[in-house]
Copies of this chain bind each other. A is one copy, B any other.
Amino acid sequence: MAFLNDNYLKLKAGYLFPEIGRRVRVFCEANPEAARRLIRCGIGDVTEPLPPAVIAAMHKAVDEMAGRETFKGYGPEQGYEWLRATIAKNDFPAARGCAVADDEVFVSDGTKCDTGNILDILGHKNKIAISDPVYPVYVDTNVMAGHTGEANEAGVYGKLVYLPCRPSNGFIPEPPKRHVDVIYLCSPNNPTGAAANRPQLEAWVKYALEHKAVIFFDAAYEAYIADANLPHSIYEIPGARECAIEFRSFSKGGGFTGTRCAFTVVPKSLNAQTKSGELIALHPLWARRQTTKFNGTSYISQRGAEALYSPEGKAQADGIIKLYMGNSDTLRVGAKKAGLKVFGGVNAPYIWVRTPKGVTSWQAFDKILDEANVVITPGSGFGSRGEGYFRISAFNSRVNAEEVARRLQELKW
């Protein structure tokens, strides 16, 4: 009889966002009137329409699909060369010291897929370090791959090395004293909204080079960096090309959550070892993984992504980012006025809020849903050290952000 993957049975409850969706559905069915004034600041999903330049490019691409001479069938699994070149030139400028080659860029349909699938090319003996709190996909995909033990009641898995993120380190973890082989870093951070500065990333690159570890650097929120002194790519740090894979997405900066396009950079100078200790580059392994298990991203989505780099596309996307970051200001100020302790929200579209004393994350979730009719994300869904916090997403209209700020101030805890 066929065997299933027992590791799946170690996973706790549902994936966070489906569970939030379920609770919201139950609430709305029971409270149809409150449901009408519901404002969703839970899942980090954009709300503004796609930039006009993207819309125009996608209409043109759809038209191409209608003509025999311009029709596009299978594209290269790693993405079209024109998109890879545009990404390399714009996002990794030599002037910032972070140049990458066009063929080190792998276009995909999402960073969620890539951060999960990247484990395919690694072995099973690695010591894995993960921030806490953290984007749950990093933990869950390692559980599924059998890289962890069982979870305890707080949701802490055996074998993983958790890197505490707390107010005292500005929610950017320090390298551990002990040895690890693989490190997940996300900056600007989901869920805490913290962004790593240059010395912090330098410390991580130094650690990774010393330990010959690989950093998975998730920069999906890079477009939200406002502080001119912060690095946008880990490759701005010397040595990172020998130790880091960077993940980027058009979802949050370009509004592509429903359109699907992202990319991952695997430098050719990044090695890992075989069981017998031989050094081998990871680039050809990821190329083999993608050509074998993926068939490329929709041509239409790729043309849409390309349009984000045109002068009009850039200006339009920047306008949308400014809108969201204006919301972020509104929400930060509102939550502070409500007497809450607030973090993040300056270089990221997320506000990370301390719950009032004695209130758990899910209690805060239920209270804010019931009484303010606002959906937030419970911090404990991001890891045990997220307990006692909740995340407010700034992805919304200005009117809604202002209304949420107002309702937060009305809440009695």
- Complex interface residues of chain A between 251 and 273 (CB less than 8 A to chain B): 251, 255, 257-260, 272-273
A341-382 vs B, Cβ < 8 Å mask (1 yes, 0 no): 000000000000000000000000000000000000000000
From residue 15 to 45 of chain A, which have CB atoms closer than 8 A to chain B?
15, 18, 43, 45
Is the Cβ of A15 less than 8 Å from the Cβ of B288?
A: yes
Complex Cα distance, B135 from A317, in Å, reads 42
CB of A1 within 8 A of chain B? yes
| Residues of chain B with a CB closer than 8 A to A82's CB | none
**Residue tally, chain A, CB below 8 Å to B:** 85
Query: Given the complex, which residues of B lie within 8 Å of A6, measured CB to CB?
Result: 123, 274-275
Q: Which residues of A contact B (CB under 8 A)?
A: 1-6, 8-9, 11, 14-15, 18, 43, 45-50, 52, 54-55, 58-59, 62-63, 65-68, 71-75, 109-110, 112-113, 116-117, 120-126, 137, 140-141, 144, 181-182, 211-214, 251, 255, 257-260, 272-275, 280, 282, 285, 288-289, 291-301, 397
> A4, B272: Cβ atoms under 8 Å?
yes
Ordered by A's residue number, 5 sampled pairs between the chains whose C-beta atoms are within 8 Å are A4-B273, A4-B285, A8-B121, A140-B292, A144-B292
Contact residue among B3, B182, B272, B288 (Cβ-Cβ distance under 8 Å from A11): B288
Q: Which residues of B contact A75 (CB under 8 A)?
A: 258
Residues of B within 8 A of A58 (CB): 62, 65, 300
Q: Known pairs A75-B258, A110-B295, A300-B301; list 18 more (Cβ under 8 Å).
A: A2-B213, A2-B214, A3-B123, A3-B124, A4-B274, A5-B285, A15-B288, A43-B74, A50-B66, A58-B65, A62-B62, A71-B255, A73-B258, A110-B294, A113-B294, A117-B293, A258-B298, A300-B300
Contact call B272/A2, Cβ cutoff below 8 A: yes
For residue A115, give the distance in angstroms from its CB to the closest CB of chain B. 9
